[in-house]
Amino acid sequence: MPEKRTVVVTGASRGIGRSICLSLASPDTQIYFNYFSPGNPEAEEAAAAETEKLVADLGSSAVSMSVDVADAKDVEAFFEKIVDETGRVDILVNNAGITKDGLLVRMKENDWNMVLNINLKGAFTCTRLAAKIMMKQRCGRIVNIASVVGVTGNPGQANYSASKAGLIGLTKTAAKELAARNVTVNAVAPGFIETDMTAALSEKARKAMLDQVPMRRGGQPEDVAAAVKFLASDDAAYITGQVIHVNGGMYM
Ligand code: NAP
């Protein structure tokens, strides 16, 4: 094992991504994460700086960059920087994701493309780059943040649920291709988690979602991060191609 493990988390200026960084932070990890909100760069930079600070408080170190996961060239440059600085990638968490909801018949092509490009193509680009490095290392962990709706479907989320179902397919295929090189690939599928993404829902939509949760409450980002931490740990060495659901019983 290397002295320091290099961890890459996409979309970690806030929400679940930030919690994942904190759960993986320790003196023997070097974390890199990205974020990308062209609409409000100052607020996002401040949020990214806060994630960096919280990681540093745990004795680890995090470096952030504004990189759109949908832009393959920028993602390549991000990975080049990481390899230049550390020479490796031990853990990749594909977490960056967005929603652009609307009923299928009214869904704009642009909203379909945007969600698929960020949620699915972004994960493909990062996985392909990380896989090459991990195969040479003969070890590595990849965890993809999917969603319960990638398995169940959800009215108003044709683009989002398709992207997450695709991510589960990518997870299983990559798991089969990389297993012999000691690289595991798994997915965590959250249900309803309290973040900015779900805060944007109307009270009616929120209630409708929570009514489906036997535990009668939303989950916290830390609930998802705990599953990621486990899958990235030595204890999960023989687990690959799996989807772990973190959803308070919403889907069984
Ligand atoms: P969130 O609070 O909206 O945070 C999303 C993060 O992704 C932010 O850091 C954001 O950066 C980043 N991001 C967005 N577009 C990006 C892009 N093109 N390139 C790079 N980074 C980008 O969302 P969340 O609730 O934490 O969700 C995290 C993941 O969990 C997503 O994949 C989501 O689909 C999945 N998930 C969430 C829930 C839930 O209930 N919250 C349920 C199931 C699955 P900025 O801050 O710069 O915008």
Please report, for the domain that includes residue 176, its CATH number.
3.40.50.720
pTM: 0.98
The answer to whether residue 203 sits within a structural domain is no
What pLDDT does residue 2 have?
77
Q: Give residue 1's pLDDT.
A: 65
Q: Is 236 inside any structural domain?
A: yes
Give phi and psi for 44, each to the nearest 5. Answer: -70, -40
CA 180 to ligand 1 centroid distance, Å: 31
Atom number, ligand 1, closest to the C-alpha of residue 196 = 2
| Number of domains making up the chain | 1
Task: Choose the catalytic residue: 32, 160, 238, 251.
Answer: 160
Q: Has residue 65 been placed in a domain?
A: yes
Residue 83 counted as domain residue: yes
Tell which one of 33, 35, 93, 251 to mutate to probe ligand 1, the residue whose CB is within 8 A of the most ligand atoms.
35
- Which pLDDT score, from 0 to 100, does residue 245 have? 98
Position 72 scores a pLDDT of 98
Residues in the chain predicted with pLDDT less than 70, given as ranges, are: 1
Q: Residue for token digits 């990890």?
A: 29
Domain holding 21, by residue range, is: 5-189+223-246
CA-closest residue to ligand 1 atom 41: 193
In a domain, 132, yes or no: yes
Q: How far away, in angstroms, is 150 Cα from ligand 1 center?
A: 15
Q: Which pLDDT value is given to residue 3?
A: 81
Pocket test for ligand 1, best of 9, 21, 36, 143 (most atoms within 8 A of CB): 36
Q: Say what the pLDDT of residue 40 is.
A: 85
Pocket of ligand 1 (CB under 6 A): 10-17, 34-37, 44, 47, 68-70, 95-98, 118, 145, 147, 190, 192-193, 195-198
Active site residue 238: no
For residue 209, tell me if it sits in a domain. Answer: no
3-state secondary structure the chain: CCCCEEEEECCCCCHHHHHHHHHHCCCCEEEEEEECCCCCHHHHHHHHHHHHHHHHHCCCEEEEEECCCCCHHHHHHHHHHHHHHHCCCCEEEECCCCCCCECHHHCCHHHHHHHHHHHHHHHHHHHHHHHHHHHHHCCEEEEEECCCHHHHCCCCEHHHHHHHHHHHHHHHHHHHHHHHHCEEEEEEEECCECCHHHHCCCHHHHHHHHCCCCCCCCECHHHHHHHHHHHHCHHHCCCCCCEEEECCCCCC
In a domain, 208, yes or no: no
Classify residue 154: in a domain, yes or no. Answer: yes
Q: Whose CA is nearest to atom 44 of ligand 1?
A: 147
Nearest alpha carbon, ligand 1 atom 6: 11
